[in-house]
Chains A and B, each alone.
Chain A
Amino acid sequence: MASFRPDLTSRIYPEPDVADVDLFDRLPDSLLLLVFNKIGDVKALGRCCVVSRRFHSLVPQVENVVVRVDCVISDDDSSSSAASSDKSRGPFSNLFRLVFGGIVKPLQALGQFLGPKRTSLSSGPSSSSTTLAVGSEEDGEGDQGGVTHHSPTQVLKNFNEIRFLRIELPSGELGIDDGVLLKWRADFGSTLDNCVILGASSVVYPGPTKSLCPQEGGSDAGCANNGGDDNGSIPDSFYTNGGLKLRVVWTISSLIAASARHYLLQPIISEHKTLDNLVLTDADGQGVLSMNRDQLEELRVKPLSASSASKRTLVPALNMRLWYAPQLELPDGVVLKGATLVAIRPSELSSTAKKEVSDVSWVSTAFGEPYGAAARMLVKRRTYCLEMNSF
């Protein structure tokens, strides 16, 4: 096109001897902040704080933060078998042990989650999982002996304008048997707003040669015929063979886990008033606690009621709806056996709210795929209603 091509190197780029120009110099603060907002990880942002003065002044303005909790504290500091999750300390885990026996593994002392800064007694990173905290950097390289952990509350102190906060626990709190599917999603304000639980006693994945024809019977792995085996109602055996009891246990465990998480978030929520959205999830994808702006504000205005004897929020009296299918085949070929969906709302809310039994939109949208499909299929079936007292 152009008949003369300018010498690009000398026109556009600095002379070689000033090649050490600060690349970020060209970016105004607003753009740099946008870049920081895409980093998310609080540890990376912490490192940015010490890169240069400019970075240091901008990081506190970051709006989008993700905190990955590294490991779990047990009350017993001298605990050496940290990897084992059999340690149960504190009233919380004891409650589980008493009520549920071996069904649910005792929870770690989640109460230590947002505790004060602790210095682990071990010197190497390998003995981790003794603290539920955001681990220190570079695995102790160059530090004066010992790995130091900060609680999430402390780590977030540097930030003044967080709008979107996501905290990720290293694993789900509920120890469940292999093969069992259990997922919950709960929304909280000052107390529980709603909770949806999806479970299955086993999950069968499609084999490589799975036939797509639903009419072929015989193969035990799949080709589940959802429509024809029942009329959508719950078989009587469910009530007698322990199926219902197991689901109640799942439900209570999930609610306990959710309310414990909620309880622990208080200090963070009261300190960060700019929050628009807060999500507390875990790396297993087992449970998601979510709070939007209104719900966060509600908690600041109306403090939560704590359940006595355990570090968790009081769960109000509840109305629950349960859907069950002995066998459910999802669009991607996965088969859920003993598939269960439970939709929970405070009784108080249900009785006054206009939208009643017919509104299930919040239930079907609680989970991402492929579980969303399971939820949508289950809500079409017959419902079983339960009530539960506050606990």
Chain B
Amino acid sequence: MSSPVEQITVVSSDGDEFKMTVAAAMQSEQLKQMLTDDSISIVKVPVENISTEILVKVIEYCQKHADHEAATKANGGGASDSEAEELNKWDAEFMKVDVEDKLFHILMAANYLEIKGLFDLACQTVADLIKGKTPKQIRKIFNLKNDFTPEEQERLSRQHNCSFD
């Protein structure tokens, strides 16, 4: 049995290597599986579809949440309201990313690595971007094409009682 691992190395699709503490890595179900499986001795974990830029963000999230969990445990279990709120604020700031570049990449990275908190956060961020916007605005933000025929538009517009714009 090897000595306890304290850090693991993850390798981005660009070939860059990053160290992660075990606590941070455990935020990812995928990495957690690997870490807890004794038959695997981990040296470097390649994460093929995640670029360096995104991986850096993901690691940042994992580390922050791992630290928060450790602090909570040290305080005897319950996170105080203010601490929870502070974490929420941090999360909100963290997700202020460029939609085109990063948001979807982070969402998919979180999905791939099975980081529930980050995944929910990213999904909610996208959902919040959609809420309150007109269809036209939604299309603009996400570069979507309006692929309805004019007749369909007419019919749907009446059905859903909203304009296409």
A→B interface (CB under 8 Å): 1-2, 5-6, 8, 11-13, 19-24, 26-27, 31, 34-36, 38-41, 43-44, 46-53, 55-56, 136-138, 141-143, 148, 150, 158
Contact = CB atoms under 8 A, between A and B. Distances in A.
Contacts of B161: 46, 136-137, 148, 150
B16 to A, nearest CB: 5
A150 B131 CA distance: 19
Given A6-B14, A8-B51, A22-B142, A142 B163 contact: yes
Q: Which of A36, A41, A51, A53 has the most CB of B within 10 A?
A: A51
27 contacts: A2-B15, A6-B15, A8-B14, A11-B14, A20-B143, A23-B99, A26-B108, A31-B111, A35-B130, A38-B120, A39-B130, A39-B131, A41-B131, A44-B132, A46-B162, A47-B135, A48-B135, A50-B148, A50-B162, A51-B138, A51-B146, A52-B139, A52-B144, A52-B146, A53-B147, A148-B161, A158-B160
A52 B127 contact: no
A47 B135 CA distance: 6
B156 A38 contact: no
A23 B14 contact: no
A50 B157 contact: yes
Interface in B135-165: 135, 138-139, 142-148, 153, 156-157, 159-165
Interface string B32-58: 000000000000000000011100000
B88 interface: no
Contacts of B101: 13
B16 A2 contact: yes
Contact of A50 (B14, B100, B132, B153): B153
Contact of A23 (B17, B142, B165): B142
Contact of A56 (B103, B156, B163): B156
B75 to A, nearest CB: 20
Given A8-B14, A44-B131, A138-B162, A23 B143 contact: yes
A98 B103 CA distance: 59
B130 A44 contact: yes
A46 B111 CA distance: 27
A148 B38 CA distance: 64
Given A11-B51, A26-B108, A1 B126 contact: no
Q: Which of B108, B157, B161 has the most CB of A within 10 A?
A: B161
Contact of A1 (B17, B104, B156, B164): B17
B145 to A, nearest CB: 6
Contact of A27 (B107, B131, B157): B107
A46 to B, nearest CB: 5
Interface residues of B, number: 46
A53 B160 contact: no
Interface of B: 14-18, 51-53, 99-101, 103-104, 107-108, 111, 120, 123-124, 126-127, 130-135, 138-139, 142-148, 153, 156-157, 159-165
A337 B42 CA distance: 64
Contacts of B134: 47, 138
Leading 3 A-B pairs by shortest Cβ distance? A137-B162, A38-B127, A39-B127
Q: Is the interface of B mostly helix, strand, loop or mixed?
A: helix
A2 B130 CA distance: 39
B29 to A, nearest CB: 16
B126 A137 contact: no
Contacts of A31: 107-108, 111, 123
Contacts of B138: 47-48, 51
A178 B67 CA distance: 47
A27 B104 contact: yes
Contact of A35 (B18, B53, B123, B146): B123
Contacts of A143: 163
Given A1-B18, A2-B17, A8-B14, A47 B147 contact: no
B15 A8 contact: no
B151 to A, nearest CB: 13
A207 B100 CA distance: 49
B88 to A, nearest CB: 16
A40 B135 CA distance: 16
Given A39-B130, A50-B135, A52-B144, A19 B100 contact: yes
Contacts of B120: 38
A348 to B, nearest CB: 42
Given A11-B14, A47-B133, A35 B143 contact: no
B101 to A, nearest CB: 7
A24 B108 CA distance: 11
Given A39-B131, A44-B132, A136 B17 contact: no
B92 to A, nearest CB: 15
Contacts of B130: 35, 39, 44, 48
